[in-house]
Amino acid sequence: MTAFTRPARYSPTEWDARVQLAACYRIFAHLGWSELIYNHISLRVPDEDGHFLINPFGLHYTEVTASNLVKVDIDGNIVGHSDWPINPAGFTFHGAIHATLPDAHCVMHVHTTPTMAVCCLQDGLSFTNFYAAQLYGQVAYHDFEGITVHREEGARILASSQGKPVLLLRNHGPVVIGRSLAQAFNLMWLVQRACEVQMASQPMGTLQPISEAALQACVRDSLNFNPNFGAGEDSFAAMQRLIDRIDPGYRA
């Protein structure tokens, strides 16, 4: 793998966060979770209170690198130099979540077809498959208000989340909130798989319900995003190794 040198303007901890976030954007692209130049993953900068990293607006996820990620403050103002702007809609609710929830180190938002389809259903996510069962009691909803470019909606989105790690924006798409990037990634993976299975099974007939006891057991026993079991660091690392084999250029 090609060696890339950390630019002197970045601390080692910030650079590590940049590399991991750039890898995540490439992983999303590899999984088909990108949306032209839109959608966003934001990550808190370690050791820098009130600073966050987000994708440059105008670049495809396959073009995002550690060095071109944009650092912003809690109001979405660019900190330091950037050759690219950010998408105003990209930080409207991200900033509100980061500012208010101390454990919200990573916030992700996508527009994949199955997750958007479930967000458009009146009853939302159905806890009737293996993946959805692990999200039981972890999902909140926010009613559609239009494109999320208005700052005041950020506070309403935050209130709608009710402290839960998964927020389904009705008629729009999912938001996940993680204590780490790896935990958020694993949450998004569960949401994606749960919605894929629901959309594949729902047209086939009545969905088989899962008992309350079994749903609670699934949440208790799921280790994908449990901080006591690495919160998904191992699976994220496996995906990052895959991207390193395909295109390690994100490390630049």
How far is residue 247's CA from residue 205's CA, in Å, rounded to a whole number? 42
pLDDT digits (tens, 9 = 90+) for 82-130: 999 999 777 878 888 998 998 999 999 999 999 999 999 999 999 999 9
| Residue 51 bridge partners (DSSP) | 73
Confidence band (pLDDT; 50, 70, 90) for 63?
Answer: very high
How far is residue 200's CA from residue 98's CA, in Å, rounded to a whole number? 34
How far is residue 172's CA from residue 168's CA, in Å, rounded to a whole number? 8
Inter-residue contact 43 to 181 (CB < 8 Å): yes
Confidence band (pLDDT; 50, 70, 90) for 52?
Answer: very high
pLDDT at 161 over 70: yes
How many CB atoms lie under 10 A from the CB of residue 100? Answer: 14
Confidence band (pLDDT; 50, 70, 90) for 224?
Answer: low
> What pTM, to 2 d.p., does this model score?
0.94
Question: What's residue 150's pLDDT?
Answer: 81
Question: What's residue 194's pLDDT?
Answer: 98
pLDDT at 223 over 80: no
Residue with tokens 């839109």: 38
**Beta strands 139-142 and 166-169, pairing class:** parallel
What structural domains does the chain harbor?
12-251 (3.40.225.10)
How far is residue 4's CA from residue 213's CA, in Å, rounded to a whole number? 50
Q: Tell me which residue of 70, 90, 91, 73 sits closest to 81, measured CA to CA.
A: 70
pLDDT at 132 over 70: yes
